[in-house]
Amino acid sequence: MTALAENIEKLQGHLARFQSAGIQNRIGGRDHAGSGVPFTTISPVDKSVICTVARGTADDIDAAAKAARDAFPAWRDMPALERKKILIRVAEGIEARATEIALCECWDTGQAWRFMSKAALRGAENFRYFADQVTSARDGQSLPSATLMNITTRKPIGPVGVITPWNTPFMLSTWKIAPALAAGCTVVHKPAEASPLTARLLVEIAEEAGLPPGVLNTVNGYGEEAGKALTEHPLIRAIAFVGESRTGSMITKQGADTLKRMHLELGGKNPVVVFDDADLDRALDAVIFMIYSINGERCTSSSRLLIQDTIREEFEAKLVARVNNINVGHPLDPATEIGPLISDEHFAKVTSYFDIAKADGATVAAGGVTVGDDGYFVRPTLFTDATNDMRIAREEIFGPVLTSIPFASEAEALAIANDTEYGLTGYVWTNDLTRALRFTDQLEAGMIWVNSENVRHLPTPFGGVKSSGIGRDGGDWSFEFYMEQKHIGFATGQHKISRLGALD
């Protein structure tokens, strides 16, 4: 049996339960059908219906927010060590079911097995990391004076809403939910409608690990219905959102009436800048990895290649040969490097840029075509002869599509790199240390890697500037978001108090 056939057989075993019962919402530790008419989730691999999904409405969000509110005091007051133990058991549960999670994720999203099998384990790492942080969340910072002890404490903010997108949905959900739970918050999670399977697996694993009912609730449904109701609900104190910049702006408005704290992780049009003094073989590997892995459906992907004109011809020629050699295929085949795009709508969006590029005067140097009729497959694509004012250089395509733009000088590279509404990540390839420091200091991005692809270390801050987001995740930054700072001034002596209306 081939590895692909083996994976398909295993997947069928895991899908059977979804096919017979559909996906229910999970509220207060119980299954709920959802008040709306259920919708279906479709596999991008062959456009087949995977299963029906509960359609949550404002009523279901209300029930989930109340469950989160009711569960909050006990979860907040649970001793940190006990909370830590539960979160570690969640990590163990994810590890135990990592294959099932990865298979479902591949089938639901079209992502290749070779990446998703690692992403599932990364989800466990997110829980393990924040479980370890539970006992060290800052509390009780004290700045004593002779007569007043200043105490700073940090308290979980309350029930929070987590809204996640369809790209690597399991990893991103754990990335938001683990620190929220570690901080002592309860959660209502609204997963993306296009990829609901693994959110269901997560809530099951969490409850099996001992998470009390109502601490994590999952309400499926559409953004403008269930998502909107979550951002507007008065019991929900904060929203952690990952998705498009346009949606981020919308939910900020929706949350204004209830003064929601918002954390927004949004889109990107990230530059990778390759200077002629770089290690060009490593740069080539990284450029290819950072746009064509995970189908290019990745906020941190380097979708704009800024290449120094002295090496442009040779670098682009090597790029074309490698891109043409990338293996597009069934996501469950371990040999596959690129699977199908998530949906009909997204397929139409990504492929529309093939004509847009040509109309704007760019060259389609590789790809620019679809593959077969069964699913949403496209060949990895490279546009050359591009300028930064073309739509292919300005808009987030969110697929395996790279736009190559030449530059002559460091100043020009910096100007092009910063000439974008986005500012999530940047990648710089040079062996000139002074230039690297100067360039990264002026590059407008929340996260930058020098001579490296994106390597994420959990204690470091994650987030973007400009239209790429507001706020930071990672390490203690996550707790800053999910907790309230509180000051208590405690008199330890008798300082002078101004006396108004004194009678003596």
What is the rounded CA–CA span in Å between residue 455 and residue 442? 21
- Specify the residue, 137 or 230, whose C-beta has the smaller distance to ligand NAD: 230
- Specify the residue, 316 or 473, whose C-beta has the smaller distance to ligand NAD: 473
**Active-site position among 100, 225, 232, 265:** 265
Contact 197, 170 (CB under 8 A): no
Contact 381, 364 (CB under 8 A): yes
Side chain identity at residue 143, one-letter code: L
The contact set with ligand NAD (CB under 6 A) reads 163-167, 172, 190, 192-193, 222-224, 227-228, 231, 242-244, 247, 250-251, 254, 265-268, 299, 396, 398, 424, 464, 469
Least Å distance, CB 6 to ligand NAD, is 30
Per the document, the length of the chain is 504
- Specify the residue, 158 or 296, whose C-beta has the smaller distance to ligand NAD: 296
Strands ordered across the beta sheet of 363-366: 363-366, 381-384, 401-407, 304-308, 271-274, 425-429, 447-450
Q: What backbone phi and psi angles, to 5 degrees, belong to 382?
A: -130, 125
SS3 call for 248: helix
Least Å distance, CB 396 to ligand NAD, is 6
SS3 call for 151: strand
Could you tell me which of 238, 240, 187 has the C-alpha nearest to residue 27?
187
Least Å distance, CB 442 to ligand NAD, is 22
Least Å distance, CB 500 to ligand NAD, is 50
DSSP 65-97: HHHHHHHHHHHHHS-HHHHHHHHHHHHHHHHHT
What is the rounded CA–CA span in Å between residue 71 and residue 186? 7
**Active-site position among 299, 316, 444, 453:** 299
Least Å distance, CB 282 to ligand NAD, is 25
Residue number with the shortest CB distance to ligand NAD?
A: 223
- Specify the residue, 255 or 406, whose C-beta has the smaller distance to ligand NAD: 255
- Specify the residue, 242 or 401, whose C-beta has the smaller distance to ligand NAD: 242
- Specify the residue, 57 or 363, whose C-beta has the smaller distance to ligand NAD: 57
Active site residue 299: yes
Least Å distance, CB 50 to ligand NAD, is 17
Cβ-based neighbours of 286, under 8 Å, separated by 6 or more: 272, 427, 429, 452, 453
User: Would you tell me how many other CB atoms lie within 10 Å of the CB of residue 14?
Assistant: 17
Side chain identity at residue 380, one-letter code: P
Q: What backbone phi and psi angles, to 5 degrees, belong to 400?
A: -80, 65
Task: State the catalytic residues.
Answer: 265, 299
